[in-house]
């Protein structure tokens, strides 16, 4: 996988933040000519995501560093599994250790949590999708991790999808007016409208929305929304979704279930980097 320039820039900034003018401990202790081999080890079970970005850390520090992956992205790994190895200058390995682990642990946590949600709704038509509730400047990586966990990506940003939310509707005056303006401005993109009740759902459908987000609706209302919609639009359930209720939400018949927790609340996976030579 080719790492986007935006991610490369982010990793460069992360390294600058961590190393600053120089890794003083490593430079004091380790001769410049010293070379080592280090391995990434899983300390718990999780779904793997992020090795290409960990590799980029060492490539930026020293293009001659050799990074070998032993597991596939999206694979379920077990405690004790060796994920990858890096061979090169010892100073480079030690200076890149924390940034590479921070990225890898974060992304594996996201992919693992996503896989748990996907597993909970197995056999049903609904799909688990992410949101824009991501860490600043890490959206590409975090949404990548969602895909590795078996989830799907919602819009990437404000530029690649029309989503009319409550504040848009208040600013414009009505759902009908908001959809009309969106259709007039861009006829090629699908239009999604956020609604909070069944009346607004009907208004959104009549206005010509393609997708309707049911925001924080009760299960009873979600079931009624599916019933009255009869496939005229895609339905997305959002708000208050957790591992305990996600299957019940999926059983209503909605098409999409968006979960902000995938990226804003995923616990980091436990991974270590150990020099072996």
Q: Give the active site residues.
A: 98, 133, 165, 194, 215
For residues 219 and 252, the answer to whether their CB atoms sit within 8 Å is yes
Closest by Cα among 212, 206, 87, 126 to 162: 212
Structure tokens at 214: 């049911």
Q: 């969106």: which residue's tokens?
A: 182
For residues 39 and 274, the answer to whether their CB atoms sit within 8 Å is yes
Burial 140-175 (b: 16+ CB within 10 A, else e): bbbbbbbbbbbbeebbeeeeeebbbeeebbeebeeb
Q: What share of the chain is helix, strand, coil (3-state, %, to 5)?
A: 45, 20, 35
For residues 29 and 91, the answer to whether their CB atoms sit within 8 Å is no
Structure tokens at 79: 């405690």
| 110: helix, strand or coil | helix
């Amino acid at each position: 996988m080719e790492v986007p320039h935006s991610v490369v820039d982010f990793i460069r900034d992360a390294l600058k933040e961590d190393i600053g003018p120089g890794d003083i401990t490593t430079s004091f202790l380790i001769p410049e000519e010293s070379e080592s081999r280090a391995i990434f080890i899983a300390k718990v079970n999780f779904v793997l995501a992020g090795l290409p970005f960990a590799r980029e850390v060492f490539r930026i520090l020293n293009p001659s560093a050799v990074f070998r992956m032993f597991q596939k992205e999206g694979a379920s790994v077990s405690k004790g599994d060796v994920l990858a190895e890096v061979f090169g200058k010892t100073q480079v390995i030690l200076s890149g250790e924390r940034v590479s682990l921070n990225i890898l642990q974060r992304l594996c946590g996201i992919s693992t949590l996503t896989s748990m949600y996907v597993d909970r709704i197995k056999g049903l038509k609904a799909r688990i999708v992410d949101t824009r509730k991501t860490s600043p400047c890490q959206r590409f990586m975090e949404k990548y991790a969602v895909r590795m966990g078996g989830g799907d990506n919602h819009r990437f940003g404000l530029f690649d999808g029309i989503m009319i939310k409550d504040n848009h509707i208040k600013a414009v005056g009505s759902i009908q007016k908001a959809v009309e303006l969106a259709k007039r401005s861009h006829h090629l993109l699908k239009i999604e409208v956020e609604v909070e009740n069944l009346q607004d759902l009907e208004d959104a459908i009549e206005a010509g929305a393609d997708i309707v987000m049911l925001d924080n609706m009760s299960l009873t209302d979600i079931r009624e929304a599916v019933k009255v919609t009869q496939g005229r639009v895609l339905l997305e359930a959002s708000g208050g979704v957790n591992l305990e209720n996600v299957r019940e939400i999926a059983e209503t018949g909605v098409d999409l279930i968006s979960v902000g927790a995938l990226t804003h609340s995923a616990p980091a996976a436990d991974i270590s980097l150990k020099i072996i030579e």
